[in-house]
Amino acid sequence: MSFLRVPDEADATPEAASLLAADRAANGFVANYTEVFSLRPAVLAAWQQLNVTIKGGMDLRRYELVTLAAARALKSSYCALAHGKVLRDRFYDAETVRAIATHHGSAGLDASDVAVMTFAEKVVADATAITEADVEELRGHGLGEEDILQVVLAATARCFFSKTLDAVGAEPDAHYVASVEPDLRQALTVGRPVAAAE
């Protein structure tokens, strides 16, 4: 659900109806963010292309850590849940992801992972506060110039998506209740609560 009034599939434009139907076929439900973007399917398509391009230039685990850090700093439950779940499904157990989401500096990550997550949080909080020393610290952890730009791109792209969803009141989908362990779900719910089941 969101604050916006969105058309039913039967009343939607052909592009929007196709978007909604594809979501239902892939997931068994229409995600709340898809309903929001059904008002402007071309914007969602452009976002997805940008996101795929950014993600394609990074190690997936690093992308997910950076995105989780950015989502938490943005207080985006929707994005924190989505990307925390990917970290749990692909890279860590639930307790480790909960620790990363709660205090990434003491969660057992290596120093470079801690550095990129801290940097991503700083980018989201106040990009004008980033200094050359912050960038130099990432270099000290072995990141090259392209790697550093990739971290910035992942963090700043998350600002667009997370802020769009929160500005229109899009709630994280109810499926997170069943698909994410309660302690982990609580740690990842940093803003809007998960939607009630319909």
Reported as a single tens digit per residue, the pLDDT across 129-162 is 999 999 999 999 999 999 999 999 999 999 999 9
Distance, in Å, from the CA atom of 79 to the CA atom of 126, rounded to the nearest integer, reads 19
Distance, in Å, from the CA atom of 108 to the CA atom of 87, rounded to the nearest integer, reads 14
DSSP-derived secondary structure letter, 92 = S
CATH code for position 117: 1.20.1290.10
191, 166 Cβ separation under 8 angstroms: yes
pLDDT computed for residue 10 by the predictor: 76
pTM of the model: 0.94
Helix (H, G, I), strand (E, B) or coil at 129: helix
The two tokens of residue 147 are: 């790697």
Q: Flag residues of the chain having pLDDT under 70.
A: 198
CA torsion sign, 95 to 148 to 167 to 172?
negative
- Say if 24 falls within a structural domain: no
Q: Which amino acid is at 96?
A: T
Compute CA distances 52 → 49, 122, 131, 165, whole Å: 5, 23, 28, 19
Q: Where are the alpha helices (DSSP H) in 93-180?
A: 94-102, 111-126, 132-140, 145-167, 175-179
pLDDT computed for residue 198 by the predictor: 62
pLDDT computed for residue 12 by the predictor: 82
Number of structural domains (the chain) is 1
2, 171 Cβ separation under 8 angstroms: yes
Structural domain for 105, as ranges: 59-188
- Say if 195 falls within a structural domain: no
- Say if 35 falls within a structural domain: no
- Say if 70 falls within a structural domain: yes
pLDDT computed for residue 86 by the predictor: 97
- Say if 9 falls within a structural domain: no
Distance, in Å, from the CA atom of 49 to the CA atom of 197, rounded to the nearest integer, reads 30
- Say if 41 falls within a structural domain: no
